[in-house]
Each structure stands twice: as structure tokens, then as C-alpha cells.
Amino acid sequence: MTTNQPLPQHSTLVRPGDGHHTKTPVIAFLGTGRMGSPMAANLASAGFELRVWNRTTSRTATLAQHGAYVARTPAEAAQGAGILITMLADGPATEAAANGPDGFLGRFPGLVWVQMATIGARWSARLAVLAARRGVTFVDAPVSGSQAPAEAGQLTILASGPDRVRDLLAPVFGALGRATVWLGPAGAGTRAKLVLNSWLVDLVEATAETLSFARQLGLDPASIVELLRSTPLGSPYAVQKATTMLGGDFTPAFALKHAIKDAELAVQAAQANGTHLTLTEALLPGWRHTAMVHGDDDLSAVYITA
């Protein structure tokens, strides 16, 4: 399934039912994990020609069935692509895919690179510099929403980068999410994502502690979940995670190890700006302890040790 032929940076899309031929960019997608896989599948379903790469090739099998070309290296995936999306675990994995021996940077000037994983402010700034040196346009666009919204094409895209790529990316983001918010120059998307995920981890910790507190007071925690659900006190996310906690099924939608990474990135960003996230810093030691056994489980597993 490989080719060394030069490929077009655009393909011709025939939209079902309308008979119109539209030029659409070929998309390289790196990282077909829990989030990347359904995101790439939605792009394929929207009619984009896809070139995918993942470290563990078996995780690209479903996308190959969707007609995606499976590349052996990040550079091979980028060949002929107009847009490249990264959805890898973290900053180091993303930099290796971009700038490692098989990386795409330095080979494809003119490429538009959309970085959608949560990698933190420092990594985002570092990758933006690397991209600029190699003539690649860098768009920082992490997402809010976990696996189910990714599958449903209902993510919220926290986009930041140059205005001139907005039109190009509108149909791409349209296939991935229900809303795109443009926040300013590259880096603003990642900063917004850190703020949102600091809120998210604080909420999950408060939820776990609340249920545990109810249990210790001799109450049925399920009755507290019902009270949260039926009053303004319970956010839909907290109620959903509380239900998961009591159900005890910690199949990951958002792995605890990634939530810890995000909490650490938020704490670092706060410290770099001369401030402290008191709640987020306080939950981290307990979460790291829980992650020694439950790092690959859903973050709601923190209830086990709350």
C-alpha cells in the first residue's frame, strides 16, 4: 500500500447527490488513537482523500477500510498532502513525528499543519517556530470533547493561527466538530484548552470527593447524583462522570494518564505566568498515585481512591 509517485495536493471531490466537482485538499492524519481514529474516519466520510500514519499500524485498519492510504512514516503520509493533522499523545511524540528522522518538516514547504492534540503552551510555541523555519504554516487547534463527540463529529475546535487559512480549514473543521472558535494567533487555542481542562480535572476531583463524602456520611451516593442532576448544581459532565464512577466501568473515554498530562501542563503554564492553580496542584499527587494502576483507565477511576 505504498507509493513513491508524486501526488496531487488536492483531489477532486464529488459530493453525493449534487454532482458538483470541488477541489479539496488531500489530508495527512498522524495519530489514529482513541480520538484520532474517529476524527480521521469522519474526514474520510466527508469525502476527503486521507493519508494516515500511526506508530502501531494495526490501529489504522479501520481507516484503510474507509479507503485511507496507510503510510509507513510521517514523511510518507505528508507526501502530496495540502493539510497535515497531528493527534498524537503529547509534545515529544508530536515533535518526533514532525522533526525526527522520518518527520515531515523540511520536506514539504507550503504544507498547512494543524496540531490538534493537547501538548501545552511551551510545546505549541516550540513547534510553531520549527514549522516557520521550514516554510510550514502552523495552526494550533486542540479540541474540547472526548471520544463520543469525536465519533459523532461534535467536537469544539479551539482554533488559532493565521486568518488566511480559515477558509481552507472550514470544511475540515466542519467534518470534525459542531463549532469552531477562532481565538487569535497560534498558541491561543492551546492556552484556552489548558484553561478548560484545568476546570475539567477540578470538576472530576470534586465529583469523586463529593460521592466519597456522601458515602462516608452514610448516604447513598446515587441519591446525591440525582440531586445534582435535578438542580443547577450538577453540570452534565459532572453528572455523566458521577454515573460512571458509581457504575464502576472505567473503560477509557479520556485516559487518566492524559488528564494528568493536561493538569501538569496547566500548572506549568500558570507558574510560567507567575500564578498558581491551587486546586489543580492539590489533586495531582493523588491522581499520580491512582494512575500507577489505573493510568490507562478513564479519569473517572480517581473515584476508586477518593
Ligand X SMILES: NC(=O)c1ccc[n+]([C@@H]2O[C@H](COP(=O)([O-])OP(=O)(O)OC[C@H]3O[C@@H](n4cnc5c(N)ncnc54)[C@H](OP(=O)(O)O)[C@@H]3O)[C@@H](O)[C@H]2O)c1
Residues that bind ligand X (CB under 6 A): 31-36, 54-56, 59, 87-90, 93, 96, 117-118, 143, 146-147, 253-255, 258, 262
Rounded least distance, CB 16 to ligand X, Å? 29
CB of 256 to ligand X, least distance (A): 11
Q: Contact, 176 vs 155, CB < 8 A? A: yes
Work out how close the CB of 51 gets to ligand X at its nearest, in angstroms, rounded to a whole number. 15
Nearer to ligand X, 204 or 306 (CB): 204
Rounded to the nearest whole angstrom, what is the least distance from the CB of residue 147 to ligand X in the complex? 6
Helix and strand counts by DSSP (H, E) for the chain: 12, 11
Whose Cβ is closer to ligand X: residue 40's or residue 81's?
40
Nearer to ligand X, 56 or 216 (CB): 56
Complex with ligand X: residue 24 or 124, whichever CB lies closer: 124
Q: Which amino acid is at 63?
A: L
Distance CA 281, CA 99 (A): 32
Indicate left, alpha or beta for 142 from its phi (over 0: left) and psi (-120 to 50: alpha).
beta
| Assigned C-alpha cell, 193 | 484548552
Q: Which is nearer to ligand X, 49 or 95 (CB)?
A: 95
In this chain, which residue has its C-beta nearest to ligand X? 33
Taking Cα atoms as reference points, which of 148, 142, 89, 120 lies closest to residue 295? Answer: 89
Minimum distance, C-beta of residue 131 to ligand X, in the bound complex (Å): 18
Cell of 129: 517556530
Element (H, E) at 155: strand 155-159
- Alpha-helix residue ranges (DSSP H) falling in 134-249: 147-152, 166-176, 188-216, 221-229, 236-247
